[in-house]
Structure 1
Amino acid sequence: MQSIPTFDDLLADAKRSAVHLELRDSYYSNPRFEAWRQGARVDWSDRGTWWRPFHQQIADAVARGVVVRRARVVSEPVTDYIRWEHYVTHANVTSGEEVRWLPRRQASDLLVPGNDFWIFDGDIVEIHHFSGDGTFLEDEYITDSPTVGLCCDAFERVWARAIPHADYEIR
């Protein structure tokens, strides 16, 4: 029986690229989001309060030469959750990720899969399945070439049209 790789394994094994496409306007609630909704803000000058193991994993991958990109397709006006994600994306960018935003209205002629996903080295897709309220359900791993190719093409089409994080203004 072959074991299913974890995200940590996939990112650690990546040699060239790791790309992430996010398509939802809201995900499961978490304490950091709830604190932000109550007015808490991150002290970006105190890295120890916001740097998480995920950020270190990204930084380590980038240091190995892996290009890490994330594209988010969002509805405008954005939800509170997306407003918060935009705010905390400072951490992603600091860790070495390139992040872009694509307003959903500008994506109507792009064909994209129905789920969020990561692609590692253009070889394996980790698809995230969520419930309607944004609760994470499970990951699915795909290595068949046609599906991987479709996901790679979809990501690149979104990426080409999306707005770099530094230039995207929340609406």
Structure 2
Amino acid sequence: MPSSAPSFAELLGGCERSAVHLELRDSYAATDRFEAWKRGQRINWEDRESWWHPYDQLIADTVASGVVIRRARVVSEPVSEYVRWEHYVTHANVTAGEQVRWLPRRLATNIPLPGNDFWLFDDALLRVHHFSGDGAVVEDEITADPEAVKLCSAAFETVWERAIPHNRYNV
């Protein structure tokens, strides 16, 4: 069944000031890129053409338009193999212009956190990700519910304040 929800590109394209992304899981569904990394394949970061994807260009274009994009990840320690891979490939996110931080889960105990990962656009519109137990996307929910927006915004900002910048977080 096709989704009537706007695409991520449409949501980001309508953004004027900020987009924030909170990730709360220690693993997501495996991808070919993750499987290749597990087999020891590494990205040649000097050869940008080999790894630069449309997502990276979308982020770069959005940041160039003046939108601040921040991503925070709450992670268990020691980190999972998936999070080690995420840390490795975050080079692409940072190169595209995202600001990324990592918060050890033990430092999040007293933060009211939503039950799901999300994107929040201009502190007004949420794209909530619903995952299956094995980390596959089940659906994305779009909402402007003021209470949900308030909770997610406060959670993100608190995580962001406590989190460690990507270039200083060691996995």
Letter in 2 for 1:38: R
Percent identity, aligned pairs only, is 62
Partner of 1:38: 39
Output the amino acid matched with 1:56.
Q
Q: Give secondary structure in 2 for the equivalent of 1:29.
A: coil
Instruction: Report the counterpart of residue 106 of structure 1 in structure 2.
Output: 107
SS of residue paired to 1:36: helix
Matches for 1:41-56 after TM superposition, within 5 Å: 41-56=42-57
User: Within 1, Cα distance between the matches of 2:5 and 2:75?
Assistant: 30
Deviation per CA, 1:128-162: give whole Å up to 9, x if none.
Answer: 00011101100001102121111101100000000
Q: Kindly report the root-mean-square deviation, in angstroms, between the aligned alpha carbons of the 2 structures.
A: 0.6
Given residue 50 of structure 2, which amino acid in structure 1 is its aligned partner?
T
Q: Secondary structure at the match of 1:137?
A: strand
Which residue of structure 2 aligns with residue 143 of structure 1? 144
Whether 1:169 and 2:170 are equivalent positions in the alignment is yes
Give the paired residue count.
168
Report whether the alignment pairs 1:60 with 2:61.
yes
**Structure 1: which amino acid aligns with 2:19?**
A
State TM-score, norm by structure 1.
0.97
1:104-144 Cα shifts (integer Å, max 9, x gaps): 00111111101000000011000000011101100001102
Q: Distance in 1 between matches of 2:136 and 2:148?
A: 24
Deviation at 1:4, TM superposition (A): 2.2
TM-score scaled to structure 2, two decimals? 0.97
Instruction: Name the counterpart of 1:9.
Output: 10
d(CA) in 2 for partners of 1:147 and 1:107?
19
For the residues of structure 2 that align with 1:152 and 1:140, how far apart are their CA atoms?
16
Runs of 4+ in 1 over 4 A off after TM superposition: none
| 1:19 match: secondary structure | strand
Per the alignment, in what secondary structure is the counterpart of residue 35 of structure 1? helix
Q: Which consecutive residues of structure 2, in runs of 5 or more, have no partner in the other structure?
A: none
